[in-house]
A and B are shown apart, each in its own frame.
Chain A
Amino acid sequence: ETGVTQSPTHLIKTRGQQVTLRCSSQSGHNTVSWYQQALGQGPQFIFQYYREEENGRGNFPPRFSGLQFPNYSSELNVNALELDDSALYLCASSLERDYNEQFFGPGTRLTVL
């Protein structure tokens, strides 16, 4: 059984660019949640996808968007990057929205210059 994987591990972009981050959920998990963790802070909930539909969203602007695919892998897209978007982006997978067992990936470190 493989755990949650994310790619890439590190990424450097410039302000105004667009970025796509990817997440493969743990085997059998159909729910993926994305979090943003700024340096020295706790993770902040961006949104959750369940069976390819958005199932809840945190306080993030529309330039943060996502997708979930039939194999339950997921993408986080961020348009018009700002300096404050520099953070560790974490995805977590769970089974049937069972948030007691959310398993986190290692994260993607995004730096916006």
Chain B
Amino acid sequence: GEDVEQSLFLSVREGDSSVINCTYTDSSSTYLYWYKQEPGAGLQLLTYIFSNMDMKQDQRLTVLLNKKDKHLSLRIADTQTGDSAIYFCAESMDNQGGKLIFGQGTELSVKP
């Protein structure tokens, strides 16, 4: 079945690294995504990783994928107050077109 789970809250101090975790159940997932949502706004695609990769780095963002454990993480280096938002993990599958399956979201709070 399709299910994506995330912890609900994370609080860090400015300048620290943040690690947001996600687990998914469907092993046929093709791509896995991280989206950011600020209050009152739509979703911003941060990054995505193909299921045959185990790591992707993009500036301050590092995505790690453990396909065996169906575990995805997003590390944000040097976290800033502007990074405070809700972060969603999502998966998609080749045979399901544009359907994205989202987790519940992790609210990241960055304290100065």
- The residues of A with any CB-CB pair to B shorter than 8 Å are 4, 31, 33, 35, 40-45, 48, 50, 55-56, 58, 90, 92, 94, 97, 99-107
Contact = CB atoms under 8 A, between A and B. Distances in A.
Contact of B92 (A90, A99, A107): A99
Contacts of B104: 40-42
Interface stretch (B13-21, B58-66, B75-83, B94-102): B94-102
B89 to A, nearest CB: 9
A109 to B, nearest CB: 9
A100 B42 contact: no
Query: What's the interface size class on B, roughly?
Result: 20 to 34
A28 to B, nearest CB: 16
B46 interface: no
Contacts of B35: 104
B98 A55 contact: yes
Complex A-B, nearest 5 residue pairs according to Cβ-Cβ distance, in ascending order: A42-B102, A104-B42, A104-B43, A99-B98, A56-B97
Contacts of A55: 97-98
A99 B42 contact: no
A56 B99 contact: yes
